[in-house]
Amino acid sequence: MEEIVITCSRRFPHRLGWVAVAAAALLGLLGAGAQAAPRESAAEATSTLYVSPTGSDTGDGSASAPLRTAQLAVDRLGGRGGTVEFLDGRYTGQRVVLKDRSHITLRAAPGAVPILDGTGLAPVKGPSGMVEIRNSSQITVCGLTITGYRTTSTAAMPIGIYVVGSGDGIVLQANHVHHLGNDNPTLGSFAMNAHGIGVYGNDPKAAIRHLRIVGNTLDHLVLGASESLVVNGNVDRWSITDNTIEDNNNIGIDAIGFEPTIPGADRYTQVNRARHGLIARNRVSRIISEGNPAYYEDGGWCNCADGIYIDGGADIVVADNRVDTSDIGIEVASEWAKGWTDHILVRGNTVTRSRYVGLSLGGYDKDRGQAYDIAVTDNTLRGNNTLDDGSPELLLQYYVHDTSITKNTIISTNRDASVLLNRVAPLGGAARNAHLVLRRNRYAGHAATGHEVYIWNGVEHTGLTRYRAASHEDVGSTYHQD
């Protein structure tokens, strides 16, 4: 892929519209806190060091005598912090680690395309990033291209940008992470992992807070059982906006809770959840697990890579995203039986040409957790289930309750099996299945009126009238032949 020249401004893009209003109304915190433009620190204004692939580590770090090693520049900044400005070129074999630091900016020089190339570097055991931010605050990474960091080891997890521990005010802006990952070929193993951008809040006493991930491009990543972009564990008050994520072999964007990121007594508590977040205006496409060794099972491939996935997260707005040509467009669920996902607004998204389903709510089998207090409104699902295997545009799985699905446009383009909606037969007690309300949705498809298919509680109904009589749902909804 041709490199894109990006200028890193000191000001943060501030294009929020109604999404910010919805987020602030629902969460009461994303307006002035997580979405404010980052301020230039006093250290940044007075302390800037330059690096170049053709520089010398004996230089003074000025624009005319840049250093060669970015880590040396970071270390020279000292406690006051400042800026490391990357001049044009390919930086081979260099990782940058910020540990217990503050008020540091790593950014591309105006007009420059600095490439951190990890080709030939052997990732250490466990997760490690080409750019790694540990227990640090007021850190900005802007305009860097990161590539080539690869392994075949199941003991290592290569990551383009890795944020871990705790911290406040981290901004990842306009970076390009591509062609890296874990190339282990073991079929059916979940032991191989990698991320483009990975954020892990693993401190139960202090969160990663006020995180902004904006305008990045993540593509051609080999991820195994992991995700292109993830916020996992104790991550609070964050936004993921205006990113482009494409051509990766596992999940595009994921907000996770209840994994062993924080183990022990704190695992199934609020501190081990990505929460109070905004996922908006991202473009996610061609997120497909076919060919990913981790997803080979029973002699075939699982078509189960989500464009956007909320798995155990809480108080999250998912708005105005476009997801195209992925296995599953958007999914809201909880994979852990003792976990749950709640207070999620899914609004104004467009999901097209998914291989399996457009939108899925709830656990995929009886051993999963609950999903509740979900509002799904004003979304467009069109032309999904390109596998044409009878799967629906909208799938309601296990343990979905206290959830509303209203004013969505749901269009099937399959000619042979025009399945618009499938709610599986409920399991568990009444409280785990109650108060699921569908109203005023607009259904359409190639099937003649009365021949389209809705499945409710595991029973198939043809035509909106019969389905509505059986379910007592979708009052005010319509169907027309498209």
Q: What percent of the chain has pLDDT over 90?
A: 87
Region of residue 420 (left: phi > 0; alpha: psi -120 to 50; beta: else): alpha
Q: What is the pLDDT of residue 69?
A: 98
Q: Which two tokens stand for residue 91?
A: 């930086």
* Cβ–Cβ < 8 Å for 231, 257: no
d(CA 254, CA 417): 30
The arithmetic mean of pLDDT across residues 321-334, rounded, is 98
455 sits in which H/E element = strand 453-456
Residue 174, C-beta contacts closer than 8 angstroms, at least 6 positions apart: 6, 8, 142, 143, 214, 215, 216
pLDDT surpassing 60 at residue 134: yes
- Average pLDDT on 412-420 reads 88
Structure confidence at residue 150 (pLDDT)? 98
Quickly count helices (H) and strands (E) in the chain.
4, 44
Per-residue pLDDT of 93-108, as tens digits, reads 999 999 999 999 999 9
E strand map for 274-356: 274-280, 283-287, 296-297, 300-301, 306-311, 314-319, 322-324, 328-333, 340-347, 350-352
What mean pLDDT value characterizes the chain?
Answer: 91
pTM, 2 dp: 0.92
Q: Considering just the CA atoms, what is the radius of gyration of the chain in Å?
A: 23
Using CA atoms in the order 147, 353, 374, 211, what is the torsion angle rounded to 10 degrees? 20
Report whether pLDDT(77) > 80: yes
Quick check: 118 and 148 in contact, CB under 8 A?
yes
Bridge-based pairing of strands 150-151 and 400-401 is unpaired
What's CA 291's distance to the chain center, in Å? 21
Q: How confident is the model at residue 29 (pLDDT cuts 50, 70, 90)?
A: very low
Tell me which of 22-31, 260-269, 382-391 is least confident.
Answer: 22-31
Q: What percent of the chain has pLDDT over 70?
A: 90
Residue 34's DSSP bridge partners are none
- Name the least confident of 31-35, 160-164, 205-209: 31-35
Cβ neighbour number for residue 434 with a 10 Å cutoff: 13
CATH for 17-41+86-481 is 2.160.20.10
- Each residue of 456-482: b (16+ CB within 10 Å) or e? beeeebebbeebbeebebbeebebeee
Q: Where are the domains of the chain?
A: 17-41+86-481
**Cα distance between residue 151 and residue 121, in whole Å:** 9
Average pLDDT over residues 124-151: 98
What is the structure's pLDDT at 417? Answer: 75
Q: What is the pLDDT of residues 210-256, one digit of tens each?
A: 999 999 999 999 999 999 999 999 999 999 999 999 999 999 999 99
d(CA 308, CA 347): 13
State which H helix or E strand residue 380 sits in.
strand 380-382
pLDDT at res. 79: 87
Q: What is the pLDDT of residue 478?
A: 98
Write the pLDDT tens digit of every residue in 366-398: 999 999 999 999 999 999 999 999 999 999 999
How confident is residue 416, by pLDDT bands cut at 50, 70 and 90?
confident
